[in-house]
Structure 1
């Protein structure tokens, strides 16, 4: 049946494909529920059509059975009036209507079965939407927590990168110190040898000077002493 096939197509929507394309799962939840409610409106309309068909088939069957009962009653009345020929005509009409009843009964049974299936699927969709509505806030809460965790993870990653940068700076500084030490060593190696002879000579020169001063000081003291003795 086209209505049932269309309903199955609606219920078979590929939520996984929607998830793959979704940038914000929270918005997807709202969109998915909007789609389901829109589909529910279509299902309600189709269900009402099928139920109306069931009611029409039931009325047709009831009218047919009422006509059969009517022909039966007229046949009885004709017999009671002693008119067998009229009774036969009523029974013949009843037999013709009975043949129609078979087809009408089959049509009604099918319509009733389709209406029952549609009501079940309609009720199932309503139940699913209610369940999803009740779970929506819980799911959004989980998504919010997940986003917070992702931000924390990014911050932790940034802190880790900063630590790595600090370690890299330490290594660069160590290399700079090594380079400085090598440069100083090379500068020392490139300097001409120091001549210590001048220093050595100055040592003795200073010693001679100090000795002369001491002699002059002793002579001055001696001169003063002689002067005082006079």
Structure 2
């Protein structure tokens, strides 16, 4: 799919070259209970809007179909993925944008995860969204870590206990990092809700999809 033409007003605080370093100095961890936690790192990546603009033009975006109410419908966002996933035609991790792959050592050093997959989701307007869910590749694992880097326009990231309950709202601006850890993927759900108006926004997601004990032949 060709790069979408989207109106985007970069922030003066998030322009400039994408920084080679990332900092966890401002990290704030929130205990969600039952072994779940999230960590929010404001301003983790400098030059985030510059990276947003480059990825918007260079990534081969596609719109996947999802099953809903017994039929297949277009997912209300665009996406691109790099890493191993059975049954899907994702690109190899070494073909992911270099500016994203360079973040893996910093994430691995802090969270000791061995991330092996990177995904991008593009929310073009406030009508693009993702419903309440727990990441399906992580729900079967007792504990896990999923990191999400926000790029572009601000959006709210919502969390609620699985099965329903009072939600938590975490505002995300360009360059912020949010990390879900522990039991979060099966004791909590998250979403990006539709809103009346919003500028274009990306989320870069870092996961570990293939674990040593899950590899064929091990």
What's the TM-score once normalised by structure 2's chain length?
0.15
Query: Greater Rg, structure 1 or structure 2?
Result: 1
Q: Which has the higher helix share?
A: 1
What's the TM-score once normalised by structure 1's chain length?
0.14
Higher RCO, Cα 8 Å, sep 6+: 2
